[in-house]
Amino acid sequence: MLLRNRENINRVDYSLLATFIALFIFIGNLGRIPQFSSFLERIMAGRETLTAVLASQIMSNVPAALLLSGFTDNYRALIVGTNIGGLGTLIASMASLISFKYIAKENRNLRGKYLGTFTASNIIFMIFMLILYFFLR
């Protein structure tokens, strides 16, 4: 078992790498669409943290940070939002996807339980962090 795990650690996950590259290409192109750009400008004004948290839930926090950085000067709020946004859904952080993929590969029976526990605990913690941030601000 130990040898099998060591082999998995040293192997490059090209599908995950390709997914991440595709996300960056998609995000770069999305920011150039005039209608989408004006939409982002409208929703970002004064709501950088919340917008970053929500965007991170559907496109991952690093690509969300890159996309949204072109539409605000409030980098502190954007950084906080994308960091908190790394919690929540499985796609909110690439590290979460990697952990799920590892669990799914090692024990297929744990996938559903892991996903449910992961999602519930992350959403609760994300809400707690948002409340804490807005309270301490």
The angle formed by the CA atoms of residues 80, 14 and 58, to the nearest 5 degrees, is 35
For residues 102-107, give the mean pLDDT: 86
Spatial distance between the Cα atoms of 39 and 60, rounded to a whole number of angstroms: 19
Closest CA relative to residue 126, chosen from 89, 75, 97, 101: 89
What pLDDT sits at residue 8? 54
pLDDT, tens digit (0-9, with 9 covering 90-100), for 21-44: 888 888 888 888 899 988 998 999
Q: For residue 42, what are its two tokens? A: 């409208």
Q: Which of 15-19, 68-72, 127-131 has the highest mean pLDDT?
A: 127-131
pLDDT, tens digit (0-9, with 9 covering 90-100), for 45-79: 899 999 999 999 998 899 999 999 989 999 999 99
What pLDDT sits at residue 3? 46
Q: Phi/psi zone of residue 107: left (φ > 0), alpha (ψ -120 to 50 degrees), beta?
A: beta
- pTM for the full predicted model: 0.82
What pLDDT sits at residue 123? 95
**Band of pLDDT at residue 98, cut at 50, 70 and 90:** confident
Comparing 75 with 15, the larger pLDDT belongs to 75
For residues 117-121, give the mean pLDDT: 95
Spatial distance between the Cα atoms of 74 and 133, rounded to a whole number of angstroms: 15
Closest CA relative to residue 66, chosen from 40, 89, 91, 87: 40
Spatial distance between the Cα atoms of 3 and 52, rounded to a whole number of angstroms: 41
Would you kindly state where each structural domain of the chain is located, as residue ranges? 14-136
Spatial distance between the Cα atoms of 117 and 121, rounded to a whole number of angstroms: 6
